[in-house]
Amino acid sequence: MTDRLMIFDTTLRDGEQSPGASMTRDEKIRIARQLEKLRVDVIEAGFPAASNGDFEAVKAVAGIIKDSIVCGLARANDNDIRRAGEALADANAGRIHTFIATSPIHMQMKLRMAPEQVIEQAVKAVKLARSYRDDVEFSPEDAGRSEPDFLCRILEAVIDAGATTINVPDTVGYTMPEQFGGLIRTLRERIPNADKVVWSVHCHNDLGLAVANSLAAVTNGARQVECTINGLGERAGNAALEEIVMAVRTRRDFFACDTRIDTTQIVPASKLVSAITGFPVQPNKAIVGANAFAHESGIHQDGVLKSRETYEIMRAEDVGWSHNKLVLGKLSGRNAFRQRLKELGIEMESEESVNAAFARFKDLADRKSEIFDEDLQMLVSEEAAGQVGEHYKLVSMKTQSETGEKPTATVVIGEGSDERHADATGSGSVDAVFRAIESIAGSGADLQLFSVNAITGGTDAQGEVTVRLKKEGRIVNGAGADTDIVVASAKAYISALNKLHSKLERAHPQV
C-alpha cells in the first residue's frame, strides 16, 4: 500500500524570487502548461498582491490550468488575501496560501508583534481566506527556527479556523535532516487536530540540505513537498522537484509513498525553466544535468554495456532525456511548425506572432540543419521578449579578431525610431561587443554573470548566453541564443538592458 505524496511546485513564485528570475505573464503561462503536463498537484503561480503584473499572471494561469490546483500566495492581511481570492476566481481548483512569521527573531525584529498578536492575525487571515476558497494553506514562516511549543499553539488555532494544509518552512535552510524530520513528527503527534490537514514542507538550500530535509519530513509523515524545477529559488534555492520525485520513485520501497508525476516531462520542464529564466543548469546536477547519465570511466562504461543496472539506478529516458530529438528541418512548413508548438504547450496569441516566429525558425533552419525542441523553445522566448516592448534592438553587428591583434566590434542598435552606431575594441570579441553596446546605452550597470551553454549537441548548435546585470540594487538576467555565440552574447546583453529599462517593480512577500 503506497500513500500519495503531493508535489507543490513553486517555481513561479519562490523560484521567481531568485535574483533576476522574474517572469512575464506569458512566460509564466508557458511554464504552467509544462507543469500541468508534468502532473504536479499544485502550481503556486505567484503573489498577486506583489504587482498588477503578478495579479494578471496568476489570474491567467488560473483561467487556463485544469488538471493542477492553482495557488496564490498572500501575507496574512486583508488586502493580500482579497487580491489572491480575486486572482483565483476563475480557477477550476484554487488554493490561497497565507503565511506569517513565527520565529522569535522574525516576530521581534521584522513584524514587531507579540506572539499572541501573531496568532490572532493568522487565525483572522485563514478565516478570510476560507471565505474565498475551501482550499487554504497556512505557513508559519521560519518554522525551522521557531519554538515547537509556539508552533503547536498557532497551528492548532489555524486548523480550527479552517486551514486544510499546514506547510512547515525551513525558510533560511538552517535545520538538519534528523532535526527537521523530528519537528514534523512532534507537530503531528502533539497537535490535537493534526489529522484534519495535509502536512507539507518547504525547505531552502542554504546548507545544501533542502532535498535531504524534505525527504526526512516525508519519512515522518509529510504528504506534500514544496519544490521548484532545477531547485530555483530565493538565495541558494528550494528543494529541487526532480530530485524529490526521483528519490521517492526510485526508492518507493523505502518511502512507501509515490507521486503522480509524469517523470518523462522532467527534462523538458528543466530546459524550459532554464531558457526562460536564464539560469543555466550545472552539468553535474542530479537528474537534469547534462552529465547526470554520462559514464566517463572505462570500468563504468563496460559495466553499463553488460548490464545497465550495474551503475544506473534510473533510466535516462524515464526522466525525459530521449526527448532531445530532431523535430523539424529546413523543409518543414508552417503547419508542422504550428503543430509542434502546440505539442510543446506553446500557444501564440495572434497569427502575427506565429508568422514572426515562423520567419525566425526559417532563418535558423538556414543556418542549422537540425532543429530540436530546445531550439523552438528558445526561439519562442525571443519572440515573446520582443513583444514585451524592446527599448533597444540589435540591428546588426560586425566583429573582427585576428591572432596578435586587438578584437574590434561595430554594432548598430535600434532605440525607438533611431539607429545608433558604435565601434569599440576589447580583450575578446564579446568584450568588444559589450563595450560598443554600453557606449550607446550608457547604463552604468555592473556585469555580474556571463555564461555560455550549448542548447543541443554539435558544433552548429545554438549557444545560449546569460548575462546578469546589476544597477542600483536591481538585478536582471538577459538571455540570447544564436548559432554564433558572439551574436548570442550581444542579444543577451541587450535583453538584460531592456529588462533594466522596463523598471517593473514588484513587492517581495517576505521583506
> Which residues make up the interface to ligand KIV (CB under 6 A)?
14, 99, 139, 141, 169, 171, 202, 204, 509
Angle formed at CA 36 by CA 32 and CA 39, multiple of 5 degrees: 140
**Total length of the chain:** 511
Instruction: Find residue 477's DSSP bridge partners.
Output: 468
Q: Minimum Å distance from CB 478 to ligand KIV?
A: 26
Q: Minimum Å distance from CB 361 to ligand KIV?
A: 38
Q: Which residues contact 420 (CB under 8 A, 6 or more apart)?
A: 412, 413, 414, 440
The stretch among 9-17, 30-38, 106-114, 425-433 that binds Zn ion (CB under 5 A) is 9-17
Are 239 and 20 within 8 A, CB to CB? no
Q: What is the DSSP letter of 308?
A: G
Residue 377 partner contact from Zn ion, ligand KIV, none using kind-dependent CB cut-offs of 5 to 8 Å: none
Q: Which residues contact 285 (CB under 8 A, 6 or more apart)?
A: 230, 240, 292
Are 252 and 219 within 8 A, CB to CB? no
Toward ligand KIV, which CB reaches closer, 79 or 369? 79
Residue 263 partner contact from Zn ion, ligand KIV, none using kind-dependent CB cut-offs of 5 to 8 Å: none
CA 102 – CA 115 distance, rounded (Å)? 8
Residue 373 partner contact from Zn ion, ligand KIV, none using kind-dependent CB cut-offs of 5 to 8 Å: none
Q: Minimum Å distance from CB 210 to ligand KIV?
A: 10
Toward Zn ion, which CB reaches closer, 172 or 467? 172
Toward Zn ion, which CB reaches closer, 49 or 364? 49
Residue 141 partner contact from ligand KIV, Zn ion, none using kind-dependent CB cut-offs of 5 to 8 Å: ligand KIV
Residue 462 partner contact from ligand KIV, Zn ion, none using kind-dependent CB cut-offs of 5 to 8 Å: none
Toward ligand KIV, which CB reaches closer, 320 or 509? 509
Please provide residue 275's backbone torsions phi and psi, each rounded to the nearest 5 degrees.
-65, -40
Question: C-alpha distances in angstroms, 405 versus 254, 401, 409, 410?
Answer: 62, 7, 13, 16
Q: Minimum Å distance from CB 197 to ligand KIV?
A: 15
Residues in the interface with Zn ion (CB under 5 A) total 1
CA 260 – CA 471 distance, rounded (Å)? 43
Report DSSP letters for 237-293, one per residue. -B-BHHHHHHHHHHTHHHH-EE----GGGHHHHHHHHHHHH--PPPTT-TTTSTTTT
CA dihedral 247, 253, 258, 263 (to 10 degrees): 50
Residue 499 partner contact from ligand KIV, Zn ion, none using kind-dependent CB cut-offs of 5 to 8 Å: none
Q: Minimum Å distance from CB 439 to Zn ion?
A: 40
Greatest CA separation for the chain: 76
Q: Minimum Å distance from CB 213 to ligand KIV?
A: 12
Residue 138 partner contact from ligand KIV, Zn ion, none using kind-dependent CB cut-offs of 5 to 8 Å: none
Toward ligand KIV, which CB reaches closer, 113 or 452? 113
If one asks whether residue 383 binds Zn ion (CB under 5 A), the answer comes out as no
Residue 95 partner contact from Zn ion, ligand KIV, none using kind-dependent CB cut-offs of 5 to 8 Å: none
Q: Which residues contact 120 (CB under 8 A, 6 or more apart)?
A: none
Are 36 and 64 within 8 A, CB to CB? no
Site for Zn ion in 11-50 (CB under 5 A): 14
Q: Minimum Å distance from CB 139 to ligand KIV?
A: 4
The stretch among 6-14, 69-77, 382-390, 407-415 that binds Zn ion (CB under 5 A) is 6-14
Toward ligand KIV, which CB reaches closer, 10 or 34? 10
- The 3-state DSSP class for residue 326 equals strand
Residue 99 partner contact from ligand KIV, Zn ion, none using kind-dependent CB cut-offs of 5 to 8 Å: ligand KIV
Q: Minimum Å distance from CB 204 to Zn ion?
A: 6
Toward ligand KIV, which CB reaches closer, 99 or 174? 99
Residue 139 partner contact from ligand KIV, Zn ion, none using kind-dependent CB cut-offs of 5 to 8 Å: ligand KIV
b/e map 420-442, b = 16+ CB within 10 Å: eebebebeebbbbbbbbbbebbe
Toward ligand KIV, which CB reaches closer, 8 or 434? 8
Q: Minimum Å distance from CB 454 to ligand KIV?
A: 33
Please provide residue 152's backbone torsions phi and psi, each rounded to the nearest 5 degrees.
-60, -40
C-alpha cell at 153: 499553539
Q: Minimum Å distance from CB 62 to Zn ion?
A: 21
Q: Minimum Å distance from CB 99 to ligand KIV?
A: 5
Toward Zn ion, which CB reaches closer, 14 or 373? 14
By CB under 5 A, name the binding residues for Zn ion: 14
